[in-house]
């Protein structure tokens, strides 16, 4: 299935047999990694998987959205933590409920997930004032808001990407709406679920376009291992952007240790129940500093509609408010080069701000 007027999406079988598939996830070697038992006094312990890529002075914390594993950031991991690893240190975590982290069946909240991240930050020693450049996308942006409520003075910057202070859908319940968008309530094949999710996250034009990934080069990209032998000496392109997304989803969903329905449901609840009032948003802006905040949203975001980003900009009055025409829900993938350059430019500005 594909959107009207575009070529049919490849089948699961076709993508699994594609020569690029075994090298879907790049062998980017972290400088540090571990699993930290957190939440010992919050109903835990819950083991949280984390990695740091790069050993540079600028600290970047990337927080992924609903059932997104830390490898979903691999374009940014490569760009900041490997190609520029002498300048940046990039912390990636698997939120509770996904990837290498524990997936307890309990009521998750964005505030609890924020405390998980803060405990990891304490563990790795990132505890100085104005040290952390926190960027969260979708549910990750909700977690970032909760972090900003708790440790505002430790943030050098706060980037809220395609996110919301509280999802409202009128008469239809938030949980129902979100569930439909991730294909949970309506039973579907994995193939249909992935294609439907792709159309929620990205524009159909981008999905149909040839795979435009800037691939790592083993031996050139620092701390990057080669792909599996069956791929050959170099990483390979897929036939389309959709197929690369599909491959990433398949590597995740076909691994029962990475993706579970229970983890999805628990994260879904956290995202659906997240609420921040206008007063709380203004408090974040005041304590972090408006000049340190970026809000980004796309006009063609089908997952979290544009009015959510517009509300954040209107209430928080951030130093940078970007409403990008024609952009979908996942700019770190859909517009990776542009996104990386925007973030890099802003990081250069934020590191120069001195509190009065």
Q: 99 near 67, Cβ under 8 Å? A: no
Who has greater pLDDT, 355 or 103? 103
Per-residue model confidence (pLDDT) at position 76 = 99
pLDDT tens for each residue of 153-168 = 999 999 999 999 998 7
Pairwise CA distance, residues 285 & 304, whole Å = 21
Strand partners, 338: none
User: Residue 189: its pLDDT value, please?
Assistant: 86
What are the backbone angles phi and psi of residue 253, rounded to the nearest 5°?
A: -75, -25
Q: Reading across the β-sheet that carries 155-161, which strands appear in turn?
A: 32-38, 46-53, 88-93, 58-63, 132-137, 155-161, 293-298, 320-324
- Nearest by Cα to 93 from 38, 162, 171: 38
Split at pLDDT 50, 70, 90, the class of 176 is low
Residue whose pair of structure tokens reads 């948003």 in the numeric block: 281
Q: How far apart are CA 226 and CA 217, in angstroms?
A: 8
User: Per-domain residue ranges for the chain?
Assistant: 12-350
pLDDT over threshold 50, residue 175: yes
Averaged pLDDT, 78-85: 99
On average, the pLDDT of the chain sits at: 94
Q: Is the pLDDT of residue 89 over 60?
A: yes
pLDDT, position 171: 40
Angle at CA 241, nearest 5°, toward 236 and 243?
75
Write b or e for each residue in 177-212: b if 16 or more Cβ atoms lie within 10 A of its Cβ, otherwise e.
Answer: ebbebbbbeeeeeebebbbbbbbbbbbbebbbeebe
Is 21 strand, coil or helix?
A: helix
Closest CA to 163 of 318, 317, 330: 330
Q: What's the CATH fold of domain 12-350?
A: Rossmann fold (3.40.50)
pLDDT at residue 172, as a whole number: 47
pLDDT (average), residues 333-341 = 98
34 — pLDDT class (breaks 50, 70, 90): very high
What is the rounded average pLDDT of the residues 13-22? 98
Q: In this predicted model, what pLDDT tens digit does every residue of 285-322 receive, in sequence order?
A: 999 999 999 999 999 999 999 999 999 999 999 999 99
Is the pLDDT reported for residue 188 higher than 80?
no
pLDDT at 184 over 90: no
**Share above pLDDT 70 across residues of the chain, in percent, rounded to a whole number:** 92
């Amino acid at each position: 299935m594909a959107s009207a007027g575009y070529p049919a999406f490849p089948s699961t079988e076709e993508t699994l047999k594609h020569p690029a598939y075994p090298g879907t996830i790049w062998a980017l070697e972290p400088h540090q990694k571990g699993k930290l038992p957190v939440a010992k006094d919050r109903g835990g312990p819950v083991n949280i998987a984390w990695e740091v890529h790069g050993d540079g002075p600028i600290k970047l914390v990337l927080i992924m959205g609903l059932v997104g594993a830390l490898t979903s950031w691999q374009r940014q991991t490569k760009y900041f933590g490997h190609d520029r690893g002498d300048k940046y240190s990039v912390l990636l975590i698997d939120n509770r409920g996904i990837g290498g982290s524990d997936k307890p069946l309990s009521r998750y909240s964005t505030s609890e997930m924020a405390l998980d991240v803060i405990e990891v930050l304490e563990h790795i020693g990132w505890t100085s004032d104005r040290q952390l450049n926190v960027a969260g996308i979708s549910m990750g942006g909700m977690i970032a808001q909760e972090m900003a409520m708790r440790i505002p003075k430790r943030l050098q910057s706060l980037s809220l990407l395609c996110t919301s202070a509280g999802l409202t859908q009128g008469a239809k319940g938030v949980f129902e709406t979100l569930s439909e968008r991730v294909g949970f309530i309506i039973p579907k094949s994995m193939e249909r679920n992935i294609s439907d999710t792709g159309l929620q996250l990205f524009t159909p034009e981008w999905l149909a376009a040839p795979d435009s990934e800037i691939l790592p080069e083993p031996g050139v990209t620092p701390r990057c291992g080669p792909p599996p032998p069956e791929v050959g000496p170099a990483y390979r392109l897929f036939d389309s952007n959709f197929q690369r997304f599909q491959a990433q989803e398949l590597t995740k969903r076909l691994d029962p240790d990475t993706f579970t329905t229970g983890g999805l449901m628990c994260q879904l609840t956290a995202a659906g129940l997240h609420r921040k009032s206008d007063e709380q948003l203004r408090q974040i802006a005041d304590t972090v500093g408006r000049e340190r905040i970026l809000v980004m949203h796309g006009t063609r975001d089908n997952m979290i509609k544009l009015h959510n980003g517009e509300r954040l900009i209107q209430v928080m009055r951030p130093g940078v408010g970007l409403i990008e025409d024609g952009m979908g829900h996942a700019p770190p993938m859909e517009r990776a080069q542009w996104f990386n350059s925007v973030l890099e430019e802003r990081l250069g500005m934020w590191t120069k701000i001195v509190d009065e």
